[in-house]
Amino acid sequence: MRRSVVVAVLIVLGLLAGGCKEELDTFTVTVPTDSMAPTFHAGQEVSVTEVADDYEPELGDLVYFEDPGGWLVGGGDEGHLIKRVMGVPGDTIVCCDSAGRISVNGEAIDEASYILPRKTCAGAGVGFGCRWTVGPVPEESVFVLGDNRGASADSRAHMCQPTEDPCSQSPWVPFDSIQGTADPD
């Protein structure tokens, strides 16, 4: 009898703990440009889920964040962007290997599901083009890229030029400016 009471109490406590999860808001934003095509297109409405206080971005997450300063050209969704996380704290990101793939910590990333063929290194005019290395990503920050690499002013466009000393910009997006994650479906 005592054993069944303990089991019942544990079940009730488990149910109560499950009900105490933080409720996260979902909201809709309109994508201002084609920088995330083919995942998202200009004018498309996208569902964004607010992030919890303890959110830790992962490689591949689609994050909605406040412009860290000077990233948006011509405005946009009230100073916010959506980009794909391509580096988290401690990561070193390299573009590109002989197959045109980005590598994170020496591992080539398969982006075939969201990058059009031979478009990984497109847009040599944005940032450093197709030959660059950045990292390690500092704590509490991420490195982000748009899926439409040829038309995205993302972290690459904010890397310091080798001749720039001191560096006046930063390619990092601070965790605290990430306000949500976008759903591609």
| Domain ranges (residues) in the chain | 24-182
Whether 134 and 25 have beta carbons less than 8 Å apart is answered as no
Dump pLDDT digits (tens) for 101-137.
899 999 999 998 888 655 555 544 444 557 888 889 9
Q: How confident is the model at residue 166 (pLDDT cuts 50, 70, 90)?
A: low
Q: Which residues pair with 132 in a beta bridge?
A: 95
Strand arrangement, sheet containing 141-145: 26-30, 45-50, 178-182, 62-66, 80-87, 141-145, 172-174
- pLDDT confidence tier of residue 168, bands split at 50, 70 and 90: low
Q: Which of 105, 165, 93, 167 is nearest to 130 (CA)?
A: 93
pLDDT in tens, 61-111: 999 998 877 777 655 556 889 999 999 999 999 988 888 889 999 999 999
For the domain bounded by 24-182, which CATH number is listed? Answer: 2.10.109.10
pLDDT digits (tens, 9 = 90+) for 15-27: 444 444 457 899 9
Look at residue 42 in the predicted model and tell me its pLDDT: 92
At 8 the pLDDT is 45
Q: Note the pLDDT tens digit of each residue in 174-183.
A: 898 899 999 8
User: 13 pLDDT band (50/70/90 cuts)?
Assistant: very low
Catalytic residue among 35, 141, 155, 177: 35
Asked whether 40 and 46 are in contact (CB, 8 A), the reply is: yes
Distance from C-alpha of 53 to C-alpha of 25, rounded to nearest angstrom: 13
Active site residue 21: no
Render pLDDT for 29-38 as a digit per residue (tens, 0 to 9): 999 889 899 9
- Which among 70, 8, 74, 78 has a CA at the least distance from the CA of 48? 78
Q: How confident is the model at residue 146 (pLDDT cuts 50, 70, 90)?
A: very high
How far is Cα 50 from Cα 128, in angstroms, rounded to an integer?
A: 32
Going by C-beta distance under 8 Å and a sequence separation of 6 or more, which residues neighbour residue 62? Answer: 36, 39, 82, 83, 84, 85, 181, 182, 183, 184
Catalytic one of 83, 141, 152, 155: 83
Measured CA to CA, the distance from residue 174 to residue 63 in angstroms comes to 11
CA dihedral (57, 60, 66, 68) in degrees, to 10, reads 90
Range list of H helices, the chain: 2-19
More confident residue, 86 or 14: 86
Q: Residue 1: pLDDT band by 50, 70, 90 thresholds?
A: low
pTM (predicted TM-score): 0.79
Q: What local confidence, expressed as pLDDT, does residue 183 receive? A: 86
Rounded Cα distance, 109 and 100, in Å:
10
pLDDT at 73: 66
Are the C-beta atoms of 3 and 45 separated by less than 8 Å?
A: no
